[in-house]
Chain A
Amino acid sequence: MQGTREATSQTPAAPRRTPSRWLRARILETRMETRSARTLVLDVPGWDGHDAGQHVDVRLTAPDGYTAQRSYSIASAATADELEITVQKVSGGEVSPYLVETAAVGDEFELRGPVGGWFRWRAVDDGPISLIGGGSGIVPLMAMIRAREQAGAMTPFHLTYSARTPDHLFYAHELYRAAEADPNLQVVYAFTRAGIASDIRRPGRLTSNDIAAIAGSNGAPARTFICGPNGFVESATQLLLDAGHAASSIRTERFGPSGG
């Protein structure tokens, strides 16, 4: 069904409607974030922006007509006719190995969106904001950090970024620079397997100490966004509840063991 999309009015009460229109996306540029995750910069004529945290549906079509669809979080702040996604390769997957390893600059697929009206941040939202990301769960949180910078917002942000080792960090340099430049943006790394020599924190899963550090830096968060594998989200959420955070202040996005 085409032509049903409303103008992109962005009143807080009425999330914009999701377009049902499939758009043509062409790969402009690619960047490996880690050995198994790649950012695709896409030229998407007709794309007119999104809110940070939302995702897109991607549809691949094989020459014989076979199609496969998956959802990916948007990594970039809103820009007309362009967006970035970062895809983690899933072993045995169908779509992610293509996007991470096979697809090249100039290749095309279809996408539609933005999708998702719950897990999103807008510059008008109250802060402080706490972001907790595990692994590739950083992607929609990075979109929020980029959208905050794009808007020139001073909203205090605290990111807790859990990754296996420093080699597994996405956007490492950009995050480091952004946090250096902005005292209202705190970035704390929580490595689970191996960190760096100067780390005070010992490698391991998130603990109550990591959660206590969130309120200690910018004050108690008005809202917490948690994204990552389900087990990570489940334990981080429990730590927050145990520390007295209100369930209603916590928004989660989970991805399961499957996918691809």
Chain B
Amino acid sequence: MDATNGRLAIQSTDNRVAPGEGKPGVSVISRGFGGREDRPGRAVPPGQYLTDDFPVLSAGPTPHIDTDDWRLDVRDVDGSTTSLTWAQLMALPSEEVTVDLHCVTRWSKHDTVWRGVSIDTILEDSESEAEYALIRSYGDYSTNLPLEDLLDGKAWIAFEYDGDDLPAEHGGPARLLVPHLYLWKSAKWVNAIELRNDDEPGFWETLGYHEYGDPWLEQRYIGD
């Protein structure tokens, strides 16, 4: 897949919504607020703003994992587990993808360039009929999503950012990259893909955040 094909479709959503639209009963104009003069030209999801930086958000200390010790376990519903070493990951075909990132803390970043192995490749030999996946990370982080959101070219185990090894604070040596959902789904320091029949909530999903997290539907919190 080339960079162009790898880019996610940008939906034609305009962030200039009418005040209070879809939020019955509230229409509050903030007197004297004009917004930036350079409002984003290309659409960002509702409630997001564009940044050129790459902010770091994580709930605890940054794990530092040596690639010699790194493993990616794939656990099927029946408990059978296959384990991938770093060398094995590196031996798999990888892709360069250019994608937009959307963090639930409201920043979006356009055209980020990653290299990683497609989850389609990782799960190629799996005949699992699981419907969900729980992603586990070094440092005890986890996040859940429907398995289909990991397949068909929508998700990668990413190990390079912008042409360099992925830094630890951004999830290196390898993180999940699933850019069509809010970035907390793109688990840093990924360690395991647990295939499941049921949808087991992950870390933020048990702390008030949305179970699915589609930025274009602004699914930030439970009930959105």
Contacts and interface: CB of A to CB of B under 8 A. Distances in A.
A165 interface: no
Contact of B207 (A116, A237, A256, A259): A116
Contacts of B17: 65, 67
A230 B170 CA distance: 11
Interface of A: 1-2, 4-5, 15-20, 22-24, 57, 59-71, 94, 98, 102-104, 107-110, 115-119, 230, 234, 237-238, 240-241, 247-248, 250-252, 254-260
B30 A255 contact: no
Contact of A15 (B30, B106, B207): B207
Contact of B55 (A64, A94, A110, A256): A256
Interface residues of B, number: 53
B221 A63 contact: no
Given A22-B26, A61-B19, A110-B28, A119 B35 contact: no
Interface of B: 15-20, 23-36, 39, 47-49, 51-63, 105-107, 139-140, 169, 203-204, 206-208, 220-224
Secondary structure call for the B interface? loop
A66 B16 contact: yes
B49 to A, nearest CB: 6
A108 B223 contact: no
B23 A258 contact: no
B166 to A, nearest CB: 16
A86 B8 CA distance: 37
Given A22-B23, A98-B33, A256-B53, A71 B28 contact: no
A15 B208 contact: yes
A112 to B, nearest CB: 9
Given A68-B35, A117-B206, A234-B56, 19 more contacts: A15-B207, A17-B223, A18-B208, A22-B23, A59-B47, A60-B33, A61-B19, A61-B29, A61-B30, A62-B29, A66-B35, A108-B31, A110-B26, A110-B28, A234-B62, A240-B61, A252-B61, A254-B58, A256-B55
